[in-house]
Structure 1
Amino acid sequence: MNTKQTIAIIGATGSMGTAISKSLAKGNYRLLLFSSKTEQLQALASQIQTLHPSADVIVSQCPTDASWEADIIILAVPYQAQQELAGKIKQVANQKIVISIANPLNETYDGLVTAPDTSAAEQLQLLLPHSKIVKAFSTVFAADFAQPVISQKQADAFIAGDDQEALEVVEQLVSIAGFNPIVAGGLQVSRTLESMTLLLIQLNIRYDYNWLAGWKILHH
């Protein structure tokens, strides 16, 4: 009998955090939701219980406590908040899977604030050296979670990481969320994935995709 895994979603009330929380509530997981916006957090938990009455959802008052209890930690926060949060969870995240969804965009969406030889995910790995960092959910928009099939095609969601076991666990999460998971390579590939998201945002702005757009690898 498989033990139910616990997932801490830090930053659960943001657009991505909300989308991830609602989509993973469909799976057989225990969800620990944290956000500094307490009222919004309670409302989100109530919405999830209404949508999925059997969902195991708990509101947490502290990111450290939530991460301590969790098997998997999802940092659903902007890149700018990554370093501070990493400091709060470092001692309780040893050997755990930590998912980086952050894209280090500049304010005008015409570039990344990270240097070309690094990425938000690689920086998180340096901050959490004993955690298994996986880049995931970074190449899809929040609106895609409610509609992962776009123009009759299931959107691909790319994953990058150096730990094979962790990648397999995250592949399953991505599938439950409704996307087609594609392991793109080691954590260094997250540099490419973060640039892909920048491009998708630029294309969304130019062609008015209404934030419902994604990548699809077409192949035989």
Structure 2
Amino acid sequence: MLVVLCIKIDTKMNTKQTIAIIGATGNMGSGISKNLSAGNYRLLLFANELSKLQTLETEILAKNPTADIELSECPTEASWEADVIILALPYPAQQQIAEKIREVANQKIVISIANPLNETYDGLVTAPDTSAAEELQKLLPNSKVVKAFNTVFAADFVQPVIAEKQADAFIAGDDQDALQTASELVVTAGFNPIIAGGLHVSRTLENMSLLLIQLNMKNGYKWLAGWKILHQ
């Protein structure tokens, strides 16, 4: 039986770090894509609908004509070429895409932004002793999974300074080099990076996001809100 994978090898020399954003046209994915396009990165953008990807590309280039972006029609191919893979996906989709990229994500940094929310936003679907990021690490045992961007709203990418305070973006992971890379991405995206701890701290970060969503719905923050650590 002949099995054909949608993978190509790019032999061109490229000194920029290549970032694959899987789910680039979602609310979070588009915010991440637009903000990271201002950095010194090569972006590979994937989404299921090519027309939406093309619209996103037009919007990015209108604001930043020098952005180094490429549209991808295959998440496996985009992940193959990338140094860092950002899964800008809801929790169920994150679990599904992990199966498609497992082999090509070997030893690469994979960022999970997913919050495993239930349908009524009053709890998480994951057990208390795990998190979306830890479940991803199980599916990608040879990757360096990092939790990032899950504690901010999509609207915050347009306005990361709220009430004259720069919103914090919390990060968790077990690999120090991966945490440093994720911190640099967070800075480029406009947020203040806070390394919260090992990957198990993702449980706390996902609950923080759940609480922020609940507070937004209760108090009418219009999805423009974020966490901020104040200290001396």
Partner of 1:48: 60
Partner of 1:57: 69
Task: Tell me the SS of whatever aligns to 2:190.
Answer: coil
Distance 1:160 1:83 in 2: 19
Kindly indicate whether residue 177 of structure 2 is the aligned counterpart of residue 165 of structure 1.
yes
Partner of 1:88: 100
Moved more, 49-58 or 192-201: 49-58
Larger CA Rg, structure 1 vs 2: 2
After TM superposition, give the deviation of residue 82 of structure 1 in Å.
1.5
Q: 1:118 aligns with which of 130, 154, 179?
A: 130
Distance 2:130 2:95 in 1: 15
Distance 1:66 1:38 in 2: 14
Kindly indicate whether residue 85 of structure 2 is the aligned counterpart of residue 73 of structure 1.
yes
Distance 1:139 1:37 in 2: 26
- Structure 2: segments with no counterpart, 5+ residues: 1-13
Distance 1:136 1:60 in 2: 23
Kindly indicate whether residue 119 of structure 2 is the aligned counterpart of residue 107 of structure 1.
yes
CA root-mean-square deviation: 0.8
Q: Aligned runs of 1:15-30 on 2, under 5 Å?
A: 15-30=27-42
Per-residue CA deviation, residues 129-168 of structure 1 (Å, 9 max, x unaligned), is 0000000000000000010000000000000000000000
Kindly indicate whether residue 193 of structure 2 is the aligned counterpart of residue 181 of structure 1.
yes
Partner of 2:46: 34
* Aligned residues with identical type, % of pairs: 73
Amino acid at match of 2:69: V
Partner of 2:204: 192
Amino acid at match of 2:107: Q
Distance 1:83 1:143 in 2: 25
Distance 1:84 1:25 in 2: 26
Structure 1 segments of 4 or more deviating over 3 A? none
Instruction: Give the number of equivalent residue pairs.
Output: 219
After TM superposition, give the deviation of residue 3 of structure 1 in Å.
2.1
Amino acid at match of 2:201: V
Per-residue CA deviation, residues 20-42 of structure 1 (Å, 9 max, x unaligned), is 00000010000000000110001
Kindly indicate whether residue 20 of structure 2 is the aligned counterpart of residue 8 of structure 1.
yes
TM-score (normalizing by structure 1): 0.99
Distance 2:106 2:62 in 1: 34
Partner of 2:146: 134
Partner of 2:213: 201
